[in-house]
């Protein structure tokens, strides 16, 4: 409303300048038009940058698992089942080859919502993780979002280490290494989206990407949920490669409608079944935000190797901060310059005087008759 009043006042002022000032009014209006024409793009640029630079509501980054406090009561993470830190903290083995229950999980214990309670703004999220699955006829692993209940009620002897008795709403992105026709498993290497059931709502063959889930190779997956478009996108590639532009799976779903403003948790769960298959997690990053994906920064791209790129995200963040400061300062300076020009046009420019026109007085000119005499002496000498 305030913006409309300001625009109406500006237009009215322009009209009064034209009516009162004639040529000067037209010049003032032309200056105003130029000012607004060039100031608006800068305003939108600043607004867009501030939106992109918005801090996520919640985020974490696990590049390796050498934090000795992981799993403690004061930690944001907990290990469940057979999951244990291995190789000096380089990764977490979710399952062990032969001992234990054959299932394991890592869970982020801080709950979040897909719908803000106060503003009813839907929440988007981006997550990515690096994992490997050894050869074998195990079940594989899954990224799971579930309501806040006791973990013993969620996890157990079931597909991907999720209890078959768990009857509450959940969403899982499964990386399945076993063909099971009963739940829509097309082959022994596929990715699917499960919504409240282990019968996948959508499934896609990993071999179409030239990959194999249980080949022991380190792979990387990106999962992005955009609240504005209500779509869940999954991408998959080898560790160390760039994030694919096109999603491997794109599934329409409204998570804010599914859970409302109820708290949810997330984790990565695995089951080896009757095999000796080992599922390992080498890195995991996650963030939730209210910024639309069309304006949000691209979902986080995890480092290919925690050992080789430990300082990468810090350098990138520092560079973006410096760049953001420069763009913001430039934009503010530009807006200040246009504001000063606006004040000059209002208070000084329209009072400037035009050089008076000089009167044109006629001047009388006197003309005299001039006689011209021609000497004919040369003609007489010829005679």
In this predicted model, what pLDDT tens digit does every residue of 127-147 receive, in sequence order?
999 999 999 888 899 999 999
Look at the alpha carbons of 343, 344, 348, 349 in this order and tell me if their dihedral is positive or negative. negative
The residue among 143, 290, 303, 299 whose CA lies nearest residue 228 is 290
At residue 154, the pLDDT reads 87
Percent of the chain with pLDDT over 90: 29
Query: Is there a contact between 79 and 70 (Cβ–Cβ < 8 Å)?
Result: yes
In this predicted model, what pLDDT tens digit does every residue of 320-351 receive, in sequence order?
677 777 888 888 888 888 888 877 777 776 55
Task: Check whether 316 has a pLDDT greater than 60.
Answer: no
At residue 141, the pLDDT reads 94
Q: What gap in Å lies between CA 249 and CA 122, rounded to an integer?
A: 22
Task: Check whether 359 has a pLDDT greater than 70.
Answer: no
Q: Name beta bridge partners: 205.
A: 190
Query: Is there a contact between 164 and 158 (Cβ–Cβ < 8 Å)?
Result: yes
Residue 366 confidence class, pLDDT cut points 50, 70, 90: low
Q: What gap in Å lies between CA 212 and CA 188, rounded to an integer?
A: 9
């Amino acid at each position: 409303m305030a913006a409309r009043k300001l625009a109406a006042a500006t237009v009215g002022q322009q009209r009064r300048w034209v009516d009162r000032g004639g040529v000067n009014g037209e010049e003032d209006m032309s200056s105003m038009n130029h000012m607004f024409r060039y100031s608006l793009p800068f305003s939108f640029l600043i607004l867009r940058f501030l939106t992109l630079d918005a801090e996520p509501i919640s985020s974490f980054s696990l590049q390796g698992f050498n934090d000795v406090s992981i799993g403690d009561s004061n930690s944001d993470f907990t290990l469940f089942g057979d999951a244990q830190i291995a190789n000096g903290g380089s990764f977490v083995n979710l399952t062990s080859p032969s001992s234990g229950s054959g299932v394991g999980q890592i869970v982020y214990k801080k709950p979040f919502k897909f719908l803000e309670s106060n503003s009813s703004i839907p929440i988007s999220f981006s997550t990515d993780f690096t994992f490997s699955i050894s050869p074998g006829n195990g079940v594989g692993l899954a990224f799971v979002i579930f309501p806040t209940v006791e973990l013993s009620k969620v996890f157990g002897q079931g597909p991907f280490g999720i209890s078959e008795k768990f009857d509450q709403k959940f969403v899982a992105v499964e990386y399945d290494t076993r063909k099971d026709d009963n739940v829509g498993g097309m082959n022994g290497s596929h990715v699917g989206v499960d919504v409240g059931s282990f019968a996948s709502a959508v499934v896609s063959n990993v071999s179409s990407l030239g990959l194999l889930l249980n080949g022991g190779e380190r792979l990387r997956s990106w999962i992005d949920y955009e609240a504005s478009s209500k779509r869940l996108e999954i991408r998959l590639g080898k560790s160390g490669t760039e994030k694919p532009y096109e999603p491997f799976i794109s599934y329409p779903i409204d998570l804010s409608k599914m859970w409302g403003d109820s708290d949810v948790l997330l984790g990565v769960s695995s089951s080896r079944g009757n095999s000796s298959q080992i599922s390992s997690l080498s890195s995991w990053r996650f963030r939730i935000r209210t910024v639309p994906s069309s304006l949000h920064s691209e979902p986080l791209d995890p480092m290919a190797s925690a050992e080789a790129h430990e300082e990468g995200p810090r350098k990138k963040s520092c560079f973006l901060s410096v760049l953001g400061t420069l763009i913001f300062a430039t934009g503010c300076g530009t807006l200040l310059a246009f504001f000063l020009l606006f004040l000059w046009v209002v208070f000084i420019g329209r009072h400037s005087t035009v050089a008076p026109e000089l009167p044109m007085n006629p001047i009388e000119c006197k003309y005299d008759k001039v006689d011209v005499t021609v000497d004919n002496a040369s003609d007489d000498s010829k005679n």
